[in-house]
Amino acid sequence: MSVRILERNWGSGLHSEFLTPVRPGEDARRVVDRSGDVARRSAQNLEIFFGREAPRSAVALFDRS
């Protein structure tokens, strides 16, 4: 399984997304937090919200692939 991180920059209207793997037995919330460090370096005032959306946020979605 992987976690899909969707970055939304409301100011520019640009969207980007990336996948990060979840290993068997790993807590997906920790994966999102770890990925958030990467996301925060690429978007100003970015926060991670697990399973919900907020302005200037990265939204974590489960991808069953």
pTM of the model: 0.33
Residue 46 near residue 7, CB atoms below 8 Å: yes
As a whole number, mean pLDDT of residues 54-61 equals 43
Encode burial over 39-62: b for 16+ CB neighbours within 10 A, e otherwise.
beeebeebebeeeeeeeebbbbee
| Cα distances (angstroms) measured from residue 26 to each of 15, 16, 22, 29, 32 | 27, 25, 6, 9, 11
Give 36-57 pLDDT, tens digit per residue: 555 444 433 334 443 444 434 4
- What does the block give as tokens for 33? 């937090």
pLDDT in tens, 4-31: 666 665 566 666 666 666 677 766 666 6
pLDDT of residue 24: 74
H/E run at residue 57: strand 57-63
Domain ranges of the chain: 2-63
